A and B are shown apart, each in its own frame.
Chain A
Amino acid sequence: GAVVSQHPSRVICKSGTSVKIECRSLDFQATTMFWYRQFPKQSLMLMATSNEGSKATYEQGVEKDKFLINHASLTLSTLTVTSAHPEDSSFYICSASGTTQYFGPGTRLTVL
């Protein structure tokens, strides 16, 4: 099956710093990747759609200047959480779209 990697798996940072999360499709090319946020014991909340070579499309209520997305190649999308605050602490998961959506292992972000 399709493999999606995500790095880092866990990050702890101080309030006000920026954190970059990488999402890679390892064995297929993905023109579209998605970024989700998941709170404990809750469902997946779509944050944005990342399209290779074009600007990301953000869901309503998601600040595009806070969550910067870059999809520079068919196998890599990055999410940068800028000026992170404790309320940004969450589990961030990416997915790459092939015949279906294949998920990365997630990144646990903790902002102190």
Chain B
Amino acid sequence: GENVEQHPSTLSVQEGDSAVIKCTYSDSASNYFPWYKQELGKRPQLIIDIRSNVGEKKDQRIAVTLNKTAKHFSLHITETQPEDSAVYFCAASIGSGSEKLVFGKGTKLTVNP
């Protein structure tokens, strides 16, 4: 079945720096890759997603890149702010027609003022 690896597990940056979180997946049929942000005790919230027909997507300070050949995708946050501190989860769809997602183990991002 699908397996999603996420690195690093923790990441600490200074305010204003960039943060990069990387994920790899195993199922070449996966075609949907969302990223979720979860603050302590709250629900995961979708921050950006990408489908396999594009290689990059950007939304203000957040971008996601996808390399289908290598089966990895990355989240890039520029000009980080303290409110970006949270746990970030990547996910990959199971196969090409399934709504089910497999999640990475998460990255705890800390942005230091």
Contact = CB atoms under 8 A, between A and B. Distances in A.
Contact of A44 (B42, B44, B46, B99): B44
B102 to A, nearest CB: 8
A34 interface: yes
B34 A43 contact: no
B88 to A, nearest CB: 11
Interface in A25-68: 32, 34, 42-44, 46, 49
A109 B105 CA distance: 22
A74 to B, nearest CB: 15
Interface in B36-74: 36, 41-46, 49
Given A100-B49, A101-B34, A44 B43 contact: no
Interface in B8-43: 32, 34, 36, 41-43
B101 interface: yes
A102 B45 CA distance: 7
Mostly, the A contact residues are strand
How many of chain B's residues touch chain A, expressed as a range?
A: 10 to 19
Contacts of B41: 106
Interface of B: 32, 34, 36, 41-46, 49, 89, 99-106
Interface of A: 32, 34, 42-44, 46, 49, 93, 97, 100-106
10 interchain residue pairs of minimum CB distance: A103-B43, A97-B99, A43-B105, A105-B43, A44-B103, A103-B44, A43-B103, A43-B106, A32-B99, A100-B34
